[in-house]
Amino acid sequence: MTQSNAIAPTDLFAVELSFKVQSFDFDSRGLVSEFAYLRWLESLRQEFLQQHFPQRADQYLALVSTQIEYKQPVRSQRVLTGRLWLSNLGKTRWTLQIRLGGSEGTIATATQIGHLLDAQTLAPLALPEAVVQQYWNYQYQWQQSS
């Protein structure tokens, strides 16, 4: 059990958005299409980048992998909440975790992996040292408090 005043690891660099399931999100079987999930993940990732990694013209954060695990189907129009947080950070690679849920609980989880790339050469670049340091300091403090 964690301390009540401690911030969970899922709170560092976290973003949260609400999504209204629209009629066009459903496929011919009456289930929310995989394309809707990808759109919601992209909206969360873009919000994350806007808030925590301002873009520079000479570099960009490239998404290289997305893995989605569908927990339960969505069959009706409703509002879902998406939460994204930074779960791992290396020298050039970052990992994001995403949870999509509603009143019935988690409907899907996802993991996205990306790299910071040079815009001209597409070579991987080191992530900003200040961000890396903040992330690992936070992880250390979290482990010490739990």
In-domain check, residue 132 = yes
| Predicted confidence band of residue 128 (pLDDT cuts 50, 70, 90) | confident
CA of 141: how far to CAs of 5, 43, 52, 87, 105, in Å?
A: 13, 30, 20, 15, 29
What band does 80 get if pLDDT is binned at 50, 70 and 90? very high
Q: Is residue 128 part of a domain?
A: yes
Spatial CB neighbours of 122, under 8 Å, sequence gap ≥ 6: none
Going across the sheet that includes 15-20, the strands are: 15-20, 79-89, 93-102, 105-118, 59-70
In this prediction, residue 10 has a pLDDT band, given cuts at 50, 70 and 90, of low
- Cα–Cα distances (Å) from 38 to 70, 121, 137, in that order, read 12, 28, 32
145, part of any domain: no
Is residue 27 in some structural domain?
yes
In a domain, 2, yes or no: no
Domain of 51?
A: 9-138
pLDDT at 13 over 90: no
Residue 143 lies in a domain: no
- The secondary structure of 101-135 as a DSSP string is EETTEEEEEEEEEEEEEETTT--B-PPPHHHHHHH
What's the pLDDT at 5? 45
What amino acid is encoded at 1 in this protein?
A: M
The band of 2, judged by pLDDT with boundaries at 50, 70 and 90, is: very low
Q: Residue 106 domain-assigned?
A: yes
**Residue 83 confidence (pLDDT) above 90:** yes
3 within a domain of the structure (yes/no): no
For the chain, give the longest Cα–Cα distance: 51
Q: How many domains does the chain have?
A: 1
Report the CATH number that the domain containing residue 102 is assigned in CATH. 3.10.129.10
Looking at residues 91-98, what average pLDDT do you find?
93
